[in-house]
Structure 1
Amino acid sequence: MPPSRDAESGSDDDLDLDELDPIVHSYNEPRIKPSSDSASRRTANGSTNIPLQRLQKYGSSRLWRSKGRPGRTGEADEDTEGLLGSWPGQTHGNGQLPQWSESEDQVGWNVSRKKYQHLHRQNSISQGRDAPSRRPSVRQSMQISDFVRQELADMREGNQELDGHKSREVVVGQSQKKRFPTNVVSNAKYTPWSFLPRTLYNEFSFFLNVYFLLVALSQILPFLRIGYMSTYIVPLAVVLTISIGKEAADDIVRRRRDAEANAELFTVLSFSDTARDGVVEVQKKSRDIKVGHVLKLEKNQRVPADVVILQSRLSELTVASSGDETDAPSPQSTGETFIRTDQLDGETDWKLRLPSPLSQNLTLKDLRRLKITAGAPDKKVNEFVGTLELEPSDLDRSAADRAISAPLTIDNTAWANTVLASSTTTYGAVIYTGRQTRSALSTSPSRSKTGLLEYEINNLTKILCIMTLSLSIILVALEGFEPSNKKPWYVAITIYLILFSTIIPISLRVNLDMGKTVYAYFIHQDKGIPGTVVRTSTIPEDLGRIEYLLSDKTGTLTQNEMQLRKIHVGTVAYAGEAMDEVAAYVDQAFATGAGHESKASEIGSTTKTRREIGVRVRDLVLALALCHNVTPTTDEIDGEKVVSYQASSPDEIAIVEFTESVGLRVLQRDRENIVLQSVSTGQIVIRAEIKDIFPFTSDSKRMGIIVSLTSEIPGLSNVDELWFFQKGADTVMTSIVCANDWLDEETANMAREGLRTLVVGRKRLSQQQYADFSSEYTDASLALHDRDTGMASVVKTHLEHDLELLGVTGVEDRLQKDVKPSLELLRNAGVKIWMLTGDKIETARCVAVSARLVARGQNIYTMSKLKAKQAAKDALDVMRNQTESALLIDGDSLHLMLSQFRTEFITIAVQLPAVIACRCSPTQKADVAQLIRQHTKKRVCCIGDGGNDVSMIQAADVGIGIVGKEGRQASLAADFSIEQFCYLTKLLVWHGRNSYKRSAKLAQFIIHRGLIISVCQTMYNIAGHFDPKGLFKDWLMVGYATVYTMLPVFSLVLDTDVDEHLANLYPELYKELKTGKSLSYKTFFTWVGVSVYQGAVIQGLSQLLVGEVDGPRMLSVSFTVLILNELIMVAVAVTTWHPIMIVCIVGTACIYAASVPFLGEYFDLGYVASWSWAWRVVAVGSISLVPVWGGKVARRMWKPPNYRKVQGI
């Protein structure tokens, strides 16, 4: 008998729900604390269950509601009868509505309290309300406790998520009162109307483009005019056309992808009274899906919009093969479905989703009686709060003013771009579409990074600007600021600035951007590193200048493919072939047939000690088979059923696979039960009813479960027993389990073997203990603030102490392919490697040694368990004298160093050859990366594979993500994504080195191309008595900047100085790039000197040999030598010829030769056809080129570069 309202009137749970919930009006009876009898009674009645995982914000919205309150007079009986009576058109059994029960003092839902706890701890469910005739006054029966009053005040004042104006009501299957966005997917950056304005704005946000635009516009003014305006407009137009064309091409690709997604067909339910069964299935394109539509989704189908799951019907039983399928729940009763969210949050594990019990058993026709209340659209992909209301049917007029209401949580949703993973037919109501979906709101613009090379080029460009201005002022000053043409001095300076504008390379940025595109293409097409993706194309050159590599361990250096290798039960350890003995103990413990009794007696009854060990092994294996979050799923491949395990962690799957290998299989797992099967007999041996589950978190580092066990196995009780099982890291479990003398030693031994350790314990609970815990835990779960902290506190107080220590497991995570040679090669390339991991110190040391992160024979200086400031200072003093040693430091000591001796610590640490930091949090990883960048000003690369590595990857100059077993968060957040760690060496040593060397050479040639023609212009103006007029005008200038030089110079992006084999064989070649010698102030001024020499020779000798300062003959010699000089300089600079390079150089020379007959406006064509012109061109060109080429040859012979040394040239 439930307690009366009078008895419960003083409880904190007696709440006036109209006052508690400002949005949804409801009524409820006081929560009835469950007993085993009541629980079994509710289960026997075929109860309907509701998921209550992670309910956020709503207090009373967790509970079943009835919209509207019956009156306090006798007429309420009629209203209640109308509400609780038979539902027209419904039958009891499959397909019926949730069933009501009546007792002496209450009318309430038959809801089993134990349900929906597979995902999280369930909160209590209302058991109904008293009959109206027995109801006391509201103020007598319902009181609000102080803590809830305070929570309510906070909620009303500050909780914006519950504001009525921010919520939406969605009527299922019908037209909506409000207008919502269309479900059109649009990832395009521009519209047809905004494309040109936005791209032009972006382009002219660069100083160089504005500068050249002003130069071109200056030709409108007669007193500044030098030639045709097209002379200056065309080069700028070419640059803008290339940049804008690239934007257009990228946007067209995005629009095509969007069009494909928008045209994808989906099945939508159309409700019609004239149709058979009231429902018609129609096909609609994704863009035509609207809020309120009911979608029918099948396996492997993308979810096109954010939906609330209404129903899910299994097309095949998700029960492991060889089990007793008659014991499995029917598809209609489970309603479970799995989704993949890897395209949303990067996690590859399947997520369990559930329909609301209020809608699961409705007919499809009755789905349009549903109404969903949801919050405003937001980007919280792991949170959702809403309600589902069931309106009375049209035939039930007695309850016309009331609707039954149920809560909705994240477990009842499937967001857009997730994929249905299980073999189910799922019906979902659309609540958010288009730009309001979680996927669209969570999409942020791609990060823009600027490489170190671009910063260096920007500095050189500033020098060129100063040179341009200085040269203009000097030429005017030499005439005493009174030019011979009588123009004002400031006009003369302006004209000179226009004439010397070629010094500033307008095409430098666009050429470098095009080069980056070529480098990204090479990386994508490299068959040696398949699956590599360039997500940030602006920094490929930085791959060639990495000085520090910060790496995660698990999944990065190791495979993240776990296998349980060792267990220890206190007195004995088992590993390798000894696992056969474990299997024998398990077979003995869970044997049910007579054929197994003789074997059991042979093994188990020899000595008392062996029997005790057998019991301990049995208990540990049983705990491992129960304490996890693994779900076995069945799929059909080529006509055969294949069982696979789904879990969020490879460790969990490894443990369940181990229990199966020793004879105890997890046959079935759902939100309420775990069924275990003996592998040898095929019989079900254990049934566990899940009471509560406490998932693993990175903060708690442990996972627990409360189960009620039932078994017929001898030695195990056949009545319900309540057990609390827990497993976790030794750092937290040591204080939770009972005192012992072996745990620390054995976990340290396993860690030294490179195994990941977990400590397993258990505690038996009485019914009273569980009832006390359940009551407080439920109260804590109703809090609106600090809910998680309160719930964790209750668990710690009631459960997490004095656990029986069952044993320790050691899971092996093997090294990835070629990790050892990869780390050794990077170390020889001068890259200092840091390993940042969350594992314990012994495991980190073992992996560092086995992976060759630490060189053979290298000393490892360990810094651990530092608590005091003085101890940290002493450790620093010791470390100063150990600069050749590797450093091993734990998280606590690292925190102390960074907080007390930040500068001193990082100054010493960056000089060490290797650093291993263990027990690191994600925040610490990011802090270390940021600190190294700020302190050294060097390029830092971070690599990882998990969600806990994202912050570190984003803090790096170059972030590299590995597509891992635990998800794609890291790869999606990174600048480059690879599939294996060993691909990193090729990415850095080959592609990174080539990208930097090529871009450096390309930039220098573009600068040289602009400087040399400006020097020719200067010589011409000096010879013309400082008259500021142009030398090469109109189409000669346009041709020089585009047709005659662009392709040969750009073809340098194909050049390589060594082949891939030599780059890997001599990683020292990579080391020299870190100094930036390929493009430095020294090389810049060297090229300035070469440009000055060649420009002066070309223009000066042309004027001397032709015998005229101005004229078409001199112009033909000077311009021809200028073109040939640039082509030959490119050819001399090539190290390894590529066919495209030959075509570009030879083809450009032919184009120039073919265009000469059309340049009669500028050249004396008759003179060009004579030998007199030819020998002057050869003479001037030889004097311009031979000294430069000779100096280069002499320098190579005197001090050859390293790449020529390894080539043996």
Structure 2
Amino acid sequence: MNVRVGDIIKLENNHFVAADILLLSSSEPYGLCYIETAELDGETNLKVRQALTVTSDLGADVAKLADFNGEVICEPPNNKLDKFTGTLYWRDNKYPLDNEKMLLRGCVLRNTDWCFGMVIFAGLQTKLMQNCGRTKFKRTSIDKLMNTLVLWIFGFLVCMGVILAIGNTIWEQKVGRTFSVYLLWDEPIRNNNVVFSGFLTFWSYIIILNTMVPISLYVSVEVIRLGHSYFINWDRKMYYIQKDTPAEARTTTLNEELGQVEFIFSDKTGTLTQNIMVFNKCSINGKSYGDVYDEFGHKRTDCVDFSFNPLSDRKFKFHDSSLVEAIKMEEPSVQEFFRLLSLCHTVMPEEKNEGDLVYQAQSPDEGALVTAARNFGFVFRSRTPETVTLYEMGIAVNYQLLAILDFNNVRKRMSVIVRNPAGHIKLYCKGADTIIFDRLDPHSQQAFAGEGLRTLALAYKDLDENVLEEWMKRLLNASTVIENREEGLADLYEEIETGLMLLGATAVEDKLQEGVPETIACLTLANIKIWVLTGDKLETAMNIGYSCNMLRDDMNEVFIISGHSVSEPELEQVLLETACLCKTVICCRVTPMQKAQVVELVKTNKMAVTLAIGDGANDVSMIKTAHIGVGISGQEGMQAVLASDYSFAQFRYLQRLLLVHGRWSYFRMCNFLFYFFYKNFAFTLVHFWFGFFCGFSAQTVYDQWFITLFNIVYTSLPVLAMGLFDQDVNEANSHRYPSLYRPGQLNLLFNKRQFFLCTLQGMGTSFLLFFIPYGAFCLVVRDDGSHISDQQAFAVIISTSLVIVVSVQIGLDTYYWTAVNHVFVWGSLAVYFAILFAMHSDGLFSILPSHFPFIGTARNCLTQKSVWLVIMLTTVACVMPGLAVRFLKTDLYPTLTDKWALCQEAVRLGWVVFRRTSPLLSPYGSCSDETRL
């Protein structure tokens, strides 16, 4: 569909919206339409959009729509999917436009026969396309280390080239002239310019030794990371069957970082709790309702009978019948309380069957409060842009809706201004108690929060007609400006929301998710610090802390602060130092931006990996700020999931993600890197040693085909198998002993020291690979008296020794053998010998004699007993030093991982293990005194 800005287009049911359009009219009453925004935010529940009343009257009249000459002035194109600021000028009037009147590109029209809209943004200017720009790329510490090491290796390569070039210059100067009779020099060298010979040699050796620079490393790393991501996606133990939600790795670049997390920043509502709100208690005019225990301490088990209300929700439960009695007795404060709950919200009702009301709420809190009002006789039935209809104790009452003062995370409150049938104007407000002044009975409020209930204070205010009329004029002006509209509206809201009369408070229960206390306890044993960042009040956050076992009465190191403290720049360092000394940190009353500030503070000042986990749009900022962002697909939409790196449905799965998948990914990646660098050095540096015996002539040791196939065919699959499937400790022990997670936090398994050790091992292996065969065969003859030490035979011996050595080494480095490992390791050896004999066969020589001229070399060489003895000697000499060091280290200075890995193997094999009583701890020392199967 080719559309331009200003076009008026028609959309039909189930059609995609092709541009960002202003809704003008629809087939539904009052200009309503329903859209699905799954392509934008991942949410599959339908959302409601409503046209302006003045444009909804246009209906489907094509003539009127064609004559529409309104002018829209709006904000420039941006990527904010939930905000739009604009003004419609039409018929000498101006009308404010917001996101509720927009249909964005990517939405699908549902349950609406047709609608008409005017194109505001098209093409690349639409919000969908604006969100397709660059996103911040997160890099792991191993990525940064690899880049540094590659630069070091390149510098080492240059040094090797310089050494060999100098050697060539000296050799040509002192010895090379002797061979000039049959080794003709080039013209520049013939003129005694041996320096030029060294210059050419330098670049020749740079080409020969370039295999030391691991070009294929990054490809292999990405393949391994992709495999680890699939393991997370396929993990049925992280699959939430109730919502058919599997775990999802939304990135492939951070898997090993999951094994190094030190700080977890967690939201509370919907992350630690279920975010399924239940109206539990309330306080009206100083009296508390909803106590489970009566005045004599007896538990109330009978639920309130709501049969008097035919529109009640049968799923709703309440345990205090005195509140129903107060309603029936028409107590004014109680009626006003529930009237406020049924009016002050943005819920949309849907009546599927006669009397079967379904509420579509933007948040679970709103849904719970409106449902409570419904059951107590104040039923919200319908709304239009100008009216709200309630059924108050069965009587229909229409309220004129004059203004809605929207909720946001900064205001932390919402208000509506309505005119009742008697003509009285009232402002109803609900919000955080700290925002609506602390006028609630302190004992009542304290008791609610102490039980972990989410509390909201309710207030109202009578408004004068003249005052409201003047305020509404200023509201219209503020709502139609383009720049600084939000600030202007906030000032006006603040002005009228003063002098409120406190009406009461609500308490909504939000229970913990299954397994949260156990997960937090396990992660704490893994030396992971968990900080809870919540918008709830102090008492509620503390109670949840006790429920999660983050707080205990015997703890002395607890740090609890409010959002105001986070906003003080001069206190940042003091806050950070104090918080890091404490076992538990809880930040309450924090805004989304303050959550991100806390994460950024730790991320910037601590050399530690941070993880943020949340479920709502207010957690997106901290999820994007942290090294790793985890989204929980809960009740508050999919914004957190879409912004995250990993997602699942329950907080308890975080334990498995970190202690199993994260730890394995880090362990596998580190072992892979150690072995990868080792084999590359062992393979490449043989050329360096050979240079001293070939006049530094840049002659290669190996056959050209072996050089090409070594990293691609002979050694690529075994190292990938190790990187994908290896595990030192199984998943059961990873959960049982969380302290095994510690090496990743300390970055012990692969660092610059480990790289230096694998470099030394590779250099030592290359030295032995060259000098043992050279020393063995330099003066040796065959059984028939012919010479054995020709260059091609020498190359076959060294290449065969190399392939066997690296295969044995990866076998020793692999902790956990699978069928894939066996096939890849032994299969690569078999492929090597098959290719070796094929290249030196009569058949290939007859087909391509110029490419495979060394017919029979492999057969003649490898049929000699002395050759195999040398290969065996070389293999043992290369492998034994590393094996001896590993054995001594494991026996004398075992790590915790070594101990439990050996215990695990002992249990598997049914060994009996006794604890050693000498000062030198055995690697089995952490097992029980005797283990037998």
**TM-score (norm. length: structure 1):** 0.64
1:695 aligns with 2:406: yes
1:981 aligns with 2:651: yes
How many Å apart are 1:568 and its aligned residue? 0.8
- 8 Å Cα contact 2:11/2:109 also seen in 1: no
User: 1:543 maps to which residue?
Assistant: 258
Q: Distance in 1 between matches of 2:578 and 2:859?
A: 71
1:1082 aligns with 2:753: yes
| Inter-CA distance 858–1114: structure 2 relative to 1 (3 Å threshold) | same
One-letter amino acid matched to 1:702: R
- Selected match of 2:77 from 365, 378, 381: 378
- Selected match of 1:468 from 157, 160, 164: 157
For each residue in 1:608-649, what CA deviation from the matched residue of structure 2 results, as whole angstroms up to 9, or x when unmatched? Answer: x9999933222211221122221112348xxx9963212222
- Selected match of 1:1047 from 717, 731, 734: 717
How many Å apart are 1:674 and its aligned residue? 2.1
1:502 aligns with 2:502: no
- Selected match of 2:632 from 962, 969, 991: 962
- Selected match of 1:1114 from 789, 794, 800: 794
Q: Distance in 1 between matches of 2:764 and 2:790?
A: 21
- 8 Å Cα contact 1:585/1:617 also seen in 2: no
**TM-score (norm. length: structure 2):** 0.82
* Matches for 1:9-20 after TM superposition, within 5 Å: none
* Matches for 1:167-246 after TM superposition, within 5 Å: 182=2
One-letter amino acid matched to 1:1167: C
| Inter-CA distance 990–703: structure 2 relative to 1 (3 Å threshold) | same
User: 2:773 maps to which residue?
Assistant: 1102
- Selected match of 1:357 from 54, 61, 70: 54
One-letter amino acid matched to 1:460: L
Q: Distance in 2 between matches of 1:795 and 1:582?
A: 43
Q: Distance in 2 between matches of 1:931 and 1:1165?
A: 67
- Selected match of 1:1166 from 834, 854, 860: 860
1:573 aligns with 2:270: no
Give structure 1 stretches of 5+ with no counterpart: 1-180, 184-288, 315-330, 390-402, 593-601, 711-718, 860-884
Q: Distance in 1 between matches of 2:536 and 2:92?
A: 50
SS at match of 1:720: coil
User: 1:24 maps to which residue?
Assistant: none
| Inter-CA distance 1158–846: structure 2 relative to 1 (3 Å threshold) | same
1:311 aligns with 2:25: yes
SS at match of 1:559: coil
One-letter amino acid matched to 2:77: D
User: 1:1091 maps to which residue?
Assistant: 762
Range with greater deviation from structure 2 (926-935 or 825-834): 926-935
Q: Distance in 2 between matches of 1:1064 and 1:585?
A: 47
One-letter amino acid matched to 2:371: E
* Matches for 1:784-863 after TM superposition, within 5 Å: 786-797=484-495, 799-854=496-551, 857-859=554-556
User: 1:1180 maps to which residue?
Assistant: 874
Range with greater deviation from structure 2 (1004-1013 or 1174-1183): 1174-1183
How many Å apart are 1:979 and its aligned residue? 2.1
User: 1:1003 maps to which residue?
Assistant: 673
For each residue in 1:422-474, what CA deviation from the matched residue of structure 2 results, as whole angstroms up to 9, or x when unmatched? Answer: 45543445554443322112322343221101112223223323332333334
| Inter-CA distance 413–378: structure 2 relative to 1 (3 Å threshold) | same
- Selected match of 1:733 from 412, 436, 450: 436
Q: Distance in 2 between matches of 1:772 and 1:364?
A: 37
Q: Distance in 2 between matches of 1:1121 and 1:734?
A: 81
| Inter-CA distance 1033–388: structure 2 relative to 1 (3 Å threshold) | farther
Q: Would you say how many aligned residue pairs link Structure 1 and Structure 2?
A: 833
| Inter-CA distance 989–1032: structure 2 relative to 1 (3 Å threshold) | same
Q: Distance in 2 between matches of 1:1130 and 1:581?
A: 66
- Selected match of 1:490 from 156, 180, 199: 199
1:684 aligns with 2:395: yes
- Selected match of 2:742 from 1071, 1092, 1110: 1071
SS at match of 1:548: strand
Q: Distance in 1 between matches of 2:389 and 2:605?
A: 56
Q: Distance in 1 between matches of 2:468 and 2:395?
A: 27
1:628 aligns with 2:345: yes
User: 1:95 maps to which residue?
Assistant: none
| Inter-CA distance 461–412: structure 2 relative to 1 (3 Å threshold) | closer
Q: Distance in 1 between matches of 2:540 and 2:293?
A: 23
Q: Distance in 1 between matches of 2:505 and 2:688?
A: 82
Q: Distance in 1 between matches of 2:618 and 2:310?
A: 43
| Inter-CA distance 1202–582: structure 2 relative to 1 (3 Å threshold) | closer
Q: Distance in 2 between matches of 1:313 and 1:451?
A: 52
1:409 aligns with 2:81: no
Q: Distance in 1 between matches of 2:624 and 2:231?
A: 24
- 8 Å Cα contact 1:546/1:939 also seen in 2: yes
- 8 Å Cα contact 2:566/2:597 also seen in 1: no
How many Å apart are 1:476 and its aligned residue? 4.9
- 8 Å Cα contact 2:282/2:288 also seen in 1: yes
Q: Distance in 2 between matches of 1:471 and 1:911?
A: 49
* Matches for 1:41-56 after TM superposition, within 5 Å: none
| Inter-CA distance 976–308: structure 2 relative to 1 (3 Å threshold) | same
For each residue in 1:1052-1091, what CA deviation from the matched residue of structure 2 results, as whole angstroms up to 9, or x when unmatched? Answer: 1221112211111111111121111111233222222222
| Inter-CA distance 624–477: structure 2 relative to 1 (3 Å threshold) | same
- 8 Å Cα contact 2:454/2:508 also seen in 1: yes
How many Å apart are 1:855 and its aligned residue? 5.2
| Inter-CA distance 1114–706: structure 2 relative to 1 (3 Å threshold) | same
One-letter amino acid matched to 1:1193: F
| Inter-CA distance 1130–787: structure 2 relative to 1 (3 Å threshold) | closer
How many Å apart are 1:660 and its aligned residue? 2.1
1:343 aligns with 2:39: yes
How many Å apart are 1:699 and its aligned residue? 2.1
How many Å apart are 1:584 and its aligned residue? 8.2
Q: Distance in 1 between matches of 2:705 and 2:304?
A: 91
User: 2:455 maps to which residue?
Assistant: 757
- 8 Å Cα contact 1:585/1:603 also seen in 2: no
1:886 aligns with 2:558: yes
SS at match of 1:1105: helix
For each residue in 1:860-901, what CA deviation from the matched residue of structure 2 results, as whole angstroms up to 9, or x when unmatched? Answer: xxxxxxxxxxxxxxxxxxxxxxxxx021111223334xx224
State the Cα RMSD in Å.
3.4
- 8 Å Cα contact 2:19/2:126 also seen in 1: yes
User: 1:675 maps to which residue?
Assistant: 389
| Inter-CA distance 372–1124: structure 2 relative to 1 (3 Å threshold) | farther
| Inter-CA distance 528–1009: structure 2 relative to 1 (3 Å threshold) | same
1:748 aligns with 2:748: no
| Inter-CA distance 1123–705: structure 2 relative to 1 (3 Å threshold) | same
Q: Distance in 1 between matches of 2:518 and 2:323?
A: 49
Q: Distance in 2 between matches of 1:691 and 1:951?
A: 34
Q: Distance in 1 between matches of 2:591 and 2:62?
A: 52
- 8 Å Cα contact 1:1097/1:1183 also seen in 2: yes
| Inter-CA distance 356–1074: structure 2 relative to 1 (3 Å threshold) | same
User: 1:296 maps to which residue?
Assistant: 11
- 8 Å Cα contact 1:582/1:617 also seen in 2: no
User: 1:456 maps to which residue?
Assistant: 145
Identity, % of aligned positions:
26
